[in-house]
Amino acid sequence: MDLWFTEKQTENMALSLRLKTALHREQTKYQDLLLVDTYQFGRMLVLDGCIMTTEVDEFVYHEMMAHVPLFTHPNPRRVLVVGGGDGGVIREVLKHPTVEEAILAEIDERVIAVCKEYLPSISHALDDPRCKIMIGDGIEFVRQHKNAFDVIIVDSTDPIGPAVGLYAKAFYRSVYEALTEDGLFVAQTESPFVNPQFIRDVQRRVGEVFPITTLYWAAVPTYPTGFWSITLGSKKHDPRTVDVRTRFEQLNLETKYYDPEYHRMAFHLPRFARNLTWDAQKAAMEKGIELPVGLPGMGPEKTAGALDGTADKEEKA
């Protein structure tokens, strides 16, 4: 029997992968959870029909979400990961010997349990004694902490449903307050090929809170278009100018994607994506011009209507 999994990534685009077998499926309290084994990308975690991670390409996303902020900060000791129940970001965070504690705030405990059973190469660091797991609402957890973390990594699902609050300006203010005086945070922010307005909005919201706001990218084959963006907000340290080479060589980290050259290169965006950054938006406003959003002929955004001004309305409530 020829089995295929298809993720409808937008109204007009889909990704299909041939399956060896379906390993696990359940409806948790929060989402549909599926674990399958594919011929092309190995085992794959799917939440509510969206590919979250695969054994073959997971290293790209997890390394770039973790090492860019942790090498930007000179001495990261306490790190918070919001979401990321598969454990991949935690695994990369704990490669840094300065990290004394890494807290995982995951709302769905079943994601953790299933990934521990079926994705041990990704999840094994969840058993590290430096890792503390908090099952519950990550937004509320962040709100309850002040001056507590050197780095916060928001490894969330797509900005629909319960995850919408993770992209609100109120949440970014809570993140700012939860960080130490020279702390920084990152969040995945989708693809500029299918979500340009969303990225632009997030960049603006973060930029209105953090003095340093920038955007970088990574090539993740199983995510929509393979061109994935990550937003970084920092109180003090600029990831574009910091020297990461010395520490990287001293630590001799085992990575497959991240290195000092790619750290620098990841912030060099093509012009159409660079127009979405907060720096570009500010420069355009000063000149009284309007930058283009999206590309000619592009279909509707994957997250079109997901925010619908919700984040801004929260600020006024």
Q: In three state form, how does the secondary structure of the chain look?
A: CCEEEEEEEECCEEEEEEEEEEEEEEECCCCEEEEEEECCCEEEEEECCEEEEECCCHHHHHHHHHHHHHHHCCCCCEEEEEECCCCHHHHHHCCCCCCCEEEEEECCHHHHHHHHHHCHHHHHHHHCCCEEEEECCHHHHHHCCCCCEEEEEEECCCCCHHHHHHHCHHHHHHHHHHEEEEEEEEEECCCCCCCHHHHHHHHHHHHCCCCEEEEEEEECCCCCCCEEEEEEEECCCCCCCCCCHHHHHHHCCCCCCCCHHHHHHCCCCCHHHHCCCHHHHHHHHHHCCCCCCCCCCCCCCCCCCCCCCHHHHHHHC
Query: How many whole angstroms separate alpha carbon 298 and alpha carbon 293?
Result: 10
Which residues carry out catalysis?
155
